[in-house]
Amino acid sequence: MNAASAAIAIHNAAAAWSKALLDNAARPSGALVYDAGDGSVLTPDQFRRLREEMEQGFAGAANAGRPMLLEGGLKWQAMSLTPADMDFAGTKAAAAREIALAFGVPPMLLGLPGDSTYANYKEANKALWRLTILPLAGAILSAIRDGLAADFPDTRLQVDLDRVPALIEDRAQLWRMVAGADFLSADEKRQMVDWA
């Protein structure tokens, strides 16, 4: 989990950033500039009223693109983000990829770009089972078995590989090979298919 903590923090920050940008029409839209010409500034009441009107009338997705009516002395100064600032989606995808890798999940299975380790989804799914899920399940079952050992010394716990959808084809091929191996004893065949 520690290996993924920084990537998780980046992913969450990118999600919060993108939501804030989308709430503001995907850009810090701009600033209202008060230029009375005589050097005066807005009073605290005028400033508060202006802020409330902006938040109520122009913030959020429902108000995107809504025209603005400005009173005397107010000018709209547009602002925009650079393309690098707008790449929050790329940052989020990179962080998600790091999280997936830290937990042993091929990024391809999550639809994340930038990982072509496996030829296809099927091979990536097999790798997930063989390299991540089965070792983790084995460790859990081993710990359970150790906990039961005092009361049930002959307990044997294991994953039934014949019931793992991603491995069905491989298991069927193994069964065919074992069945056709005349030189193996029945006990050796059982051991090869994890039935020993």
- The tens place of each residue's pLDDT in the chain, 196 residues long, gives 566 787 788 777 777 776 776 666 555 567 777 776 676 777 888 888 878 877 777 666 566 666 666 666 777 777 666 666 667 677 778 888 888 888 888 888 888 766 667 778 888 889 899 999 999 999 999 999 999 999 999 888 988 888 888 888 888 888 888 888 888 888 887 787 777 6
pTM higher than 0.85, yes or no? Answer: no
Q: Looking at the structure, tell me whether residues 74 and 112 fall in a common domain.
A: no
Q: Is residue 182 in a domain? A: yes
Residues 178 and 115 both lie in one domain: yes
Question: Do 66 and 118 lie in a common domain?
Answer: no
Any domain includes 83? no
Amino acid at 135: P
Query: Is 166 within a domain?
Result: yes
Last residue of a domain, one of 63, 78, 93: 78
Helices of type H across 59-117:
88-102
Could you identify the residue written with the tokens 């989606």?
Answer: 89
37 by Cβ neighbours in 10 Å (0-12 / 13-18 / 19+) ranks as exposed
Q: With respect to residue 88, please indicate whether it lies within any of the assigned structural domains.
A: no
Q: Is 93 a domain residue?
A: no
CB-CB contact of 175 with 193 (8 Å): yes
Q: Are the beta carbons of 90 and 3 closer than 8 angstroms? A: no
Q: Is residue 119 domain-shared with residue 71, that is, in the same domain?
A: no
Which of 23, 21, 25, 71 has the alpha carbon at shortest distance from 46? 71
| Count of domains forming the chain | 2
Domain membership flag for residue 165? yes
In a domain, 50, yes or no: yes
Residue 186 covered by a domain: yes
**Residue 66 contacts residue 58 (beta carbons within 8 Å):** yes
Domain that holds residue 189: 107-193
DSSP conformational letter for 107: G
